[in-house]
Amino acid sequence: MEDKGRKKISYTIRTLGGAYLMYLTYALINSPDPLSVMEKIVAVLFGLIGLGLVINGTMGLSRIEKEQRKEAQKLLEEQRKAQQKEEPEQDEES
């Protein structure tokens, strides 16, 4: 459980970092100062890396949430089965 918490934090940081890089790209491109060719290349690279981080982070968070839902569903099914087994035993005692 602790491992999934760390993964969630890691994916969240990736997503936020990627969003920040995309913001920097937007700020560089919309800057009133003219950009050199190298600055334009760096801005595009920032944007692409940022987009990759956002996609990776979002997909990772989605995957963890999906796994947690499956685990919760499995636990609920196990609890229902345990309750169903206990019910006949209680009826016999009555």
Q: At what angle do helices 2-29 and 37-93 cross, to 10 degrees?
A: 150
| Res. 63: pLDDT tops 60 | yes
| Res. 45: pLDDT tops 80 | yes
**What is the CB neighbour count within 10 angstroms for residue 30?**
7
Burial of 17 (0-12, 13-18, 19+ CB in 10 A): middle
Residue 86: domain span: 2-93
Q: Of residues 89 and 67, which shows the higher confidence score?
A: 67
For the chain, percent of residues with pLDDT exceeding 70: 91
The pLDDT of residue 87 is 72
Least confident of 10-24, 47-61, 78-92: 78-92
| Res. 1: pLDDT tops 80 | no
**57 contacts 20 by C-beta, under 8 angstroms:** no
Rounded Cα gap, residues 27 and 50, in angstroms: 13
Domain count, the chain: 1
